[in-house]
Amino acid sequence: MVLASRFPDVEIPDVPVPSYVLAASRGLGDAPALVDGLSGETITHAQLVGYVDRFAAALHARGLGKGDVVAVFSPNTIWFPVVFHGIAAAGCVMSPVNSLYTPDEIAFQLRDAGAKLLVTVSPFLDRARPAMEKAGVTDLVVLDGAEGADSLRDLLTTQAPSVSPDIDPATDLVTLPYSSGTTGLPKGVMLTHRNLVANVAQTRPLIDLAPGGERIIAVLPFFHIYGLTVLMNQGLQWGGAVITLPRFDLEQFLRAIQDHRVTRAFVAPPILLALAKHPLVEQFDLSSLRSITSGAAPLDESLALAVEQRLRGLAGAGEDGVTVAQGYGMTELSPVSHTTPDRGTGPAGDPDVPKGTVGYAIPGTECRLVDPATGEDAAAGQSGELWVRGPQVMAGYLNNEQATRDTLDGEGWLHTGDVAVVDDLGRYTVVDRVKELIKYKGYQVAPAELEAVLIAHPGIADAAVIGVKDEESGEELPKAFLVRAPGSAITEDEVKAYMAEKVAPHKKIRIVEFIEQVPKSAAGKILRKELRTR
């Protein structure tokens, strides 16, 4: 049974991402578009439009054109949106690289994406340079400048003519983030201009925009699709100001909310945990906040309530108080498919949405709940694998037809690998995950990727990785089951040290168990369920 969204459809403008997202900027002149949350350095809306034009012109002047992939390896700064929209306006495709990646991980992505240029910052050069060498990428831009590379200033002062590439929003890609999806190694997720335009347009009716303008805190990284669509593009499309922070530090985060009168925070569960528990929270004036939305990993209902109650009880709290909201989606969904609405914007007559739910399917989004064993629709009130169809569904995985077919069926349904239930009012709750993916602090950890790195160690004959829930933090910890190679006496500490060097911190193996044999099916598939119930 196809479950339609309870919201009326929205119009999705048939234009490239920068035209849509920066439409409001053209009339906003000196109003701040981007503010550095630490230094206060600001880019106005008018400047943003001008800088994007120059950046795009400079890319064409250096020989890049439609469809070329530009990798961006940078923390959040006020310049990141200039770089992204400049790349998009040039008709190129921005592939965002996780700031914590090791040279091996960066090289994999550069090579797989076929990147022609890497844009980075000087503190990242010690990892960027070896990765470029490995992947055979030679063109480099270092935003804050470095010996032998062009800087942002060089690009923004180009005299090259403005460009207007012929972009077909429905088919031309604008970004290529990496996700392992339901199984296997990280893959390039092909997202079109239309996917990203749609996702911002689709969430708009569920937001009651502040009359005085919205100010969004951008502490989650722009290199993740959550940061790119929900923080950067949504915030700019609203004509708001996006306040950037380079990394999460609770005190800086609270101070930035206070000093910049932030109205909206979009975060992941670990930040809500800090807001519920940490004594620092009481020392700041957070009364400007209208909502805090959690996404990217399951949010406990009691944690959501605890944060809401605590913030509403603070001195100076607004009359209506802050609402803790929740969104759900995947990189493959640009990323939003479900969210809880602002008060008053839900389907007519609905009471407040219960805290544990991820809310409604957003406009234009159809869902099915399917029993993964039989392929039949789940009975009313029963859980099933969530399938999603809508204009935000990716075009497919780059150079990987098999993975695309396994995830996106012939009728356009994206099989999420998440298990959900829906109530009679159309509110969804995510209850389980049937895919391999591990989530650590909202970041993806792909077991197959870790297994490949583990098996490459001469002391390890075979490996299987699963996530195990840590009761204290609520996080899933990557755990490796390992078979030692004959004659090897490799220890848990040696395994951990080896992995820490090869992979980003969120992918570290946190628990090791040595076993005789990895349980596998006749076809050689790891029987993860068996490992889970051991």
Q: Tell me, what DSSP letter sits at residue 231?
A: I
Residue nearest to ligand AYL (CB): 327
- Closest to ligand AYL by CB, 80 or 440: 440
- From 87-95, 103-111, 335-343, 345-353, give the range in contact with ligand AYL by CB under 6 A: 335-343
Question: Is 327 near ligand AYL (CB under 6 A)?
Answer: yes
- 92 burial type by CB count under 10 A (0-12 exposed, 13-18 middle, 19+ buried): buried
Question: Is 176 near ligand AYL (CB under 6 A)?
Answer: no
Residue ranges in 277-306 that form contacts with ligand AYL under rule CB under 6 A:
293, 295-299
- Closest to ligand AYL by CB, 19 or 416: 416
Question: Is 439 near ligand AYL (CB under 6 A)?
Answer: yes
Round to whole Å and give the CA distance between 441 and 220: 11
Q: Among 81, 227, 240, 329, which residue sits at the site for ligand AYL (rule: CB under 6 A)? A: 329
Cα separation values, 284 from 256, 305, 480, Å: 10, 20, 42
Binding mask 397-426 for ligand AYL (x = CB under 6 A): -------------------x-x--------
E strand or H helix at 250, and its extent? helix 250-259
Given CA atoms 17, 21, 24, 29 in this order, what sign does their dihedral have?
negative
- From 323-331, 366-374, 393-401, 519-527, give the range in contact with ligand AYL by CB under 6 A: 323-331
- Closest to ligand AYL by CB, 77 or 293: 293
CB atoms within 10 A of CB 343: 14
Question: Is 430 near ligand AYL (CB under 6 A)?
Answer: yes
Local structure of 325: helix, strand or coil? strand
Round to whole Å and give the CA distance between 36 and 244: 5
Backbone phi, then psi, for 292, in 5-degree steps? -125, 115
Q: Show the DSSP H helices in 69-124 as ranges.
A: 80-89, 103-113
- From 93-101, 105-113, 320-328, 392-400, give the range in contact with ligand AYL by CB under 6 A: 320-328
Q: Show the DSSP H helices in 204-300 as ranges.
A: 225, 234-237, 250-259, 269-277
> Alpha-carbon Rg of the chain, whole angstroms?
23
Tokens 């789940």 belong to residue: 378
Question: Is 444 near ligand AYL (CB under 6 A)?
Answer: yes
Question: What minimum distance in Å lies between the beta carbon of 33 and ligand AYL?
Answer: 21
Question: Is 328 near ligand AYL (CB under 6 A)?
Answer: yes
Residue ranges in 207-226 that form contacts with ligand AYL under rule CB under 6 A:
225-226
Q: Residue 137's closest CA among 177, 97, 99, 187?
A: 97
Q: Among 76, 331, 340, 365, which residue sits at the site for ligand AYL (rule: CB under 6 A)? A: 331
Q: Residue 390's closest CA among 444, 330, 326?
A: 330
- Closest to ligand AYL by CB, 477 or 483: 477
Tokens 């340079």 belong to residue: 129
- Closest to ligand AYL by CB, 28 or 445: 445
Round to whole Å and give the CA distance between 220 and 169: 27
Question: Is 190 near ligand AYL (CB under 6 A)?
Answer: no
Question: What minimum distance in Å lies between the beta carbon of 498 and ligand AYL?
Answer: 26
Q: Are strands 187-192 and 139-142 parallel, antiparallel or unpaired?
A: unpaired
Question: What minimum distance in Å lies between the beta carbon of 14 and ligand AYL?
Answer: 24
- Closest to ligand AYL by CB, 260 or 264: 264
Q: Residue 245's closest CA among 272, 227, 270?
A: 227
Question: Is 507 near ligand AYL (CB under 6 A)?
Answer: no
- Closest to ligand AYL by CB, 37 or 341: 341
Question: What minimum distance in Å lies between the beta carbon of 357 and ligand AYL?
Answer: 9
Contacts of 180 (CB under 8 A, 6+ apart): 186, 187, 436, 437, 444, 446, 448, 449
Question: Is 269 near ligand AYL (CB under 6 A)?
Answer: no
Round to whole Å and give the CA distance between 15 and 38: 34
E strand or H helix at 119, and its extent? strand 115-120
Tell me which amino acid residue 502 is.
K
Backbone phi, then psi, for 444, in 5-degree steps? -75, 135
- From 83-91, 325-333, 373-381, 516-524, give the range in contact with ligand AYL by CB under 6 A: 325-333
- From 97-105, 322-330, 495-503, 520-528, give the range in contact with ligand AYL by CB under 6 A: 322-330
Residue ranges in 450-479 that form contacts with ligand AYL under rule CB under 6 A:
none
Question: Is 120 near ligand AYL (CB under 6 A)?
Answer: no
Question: What minimum distance in Å lies between the beta carbon of 325 and ligand AYL?
Answer: 8
Q: Where does this chain bind ligand AYL (CB under 6 A)?
A: 179, 225-226, 230, 293, 295-299, 326-331, 335-336, 339, 358, 416, 418, 430, 433, 439, 444
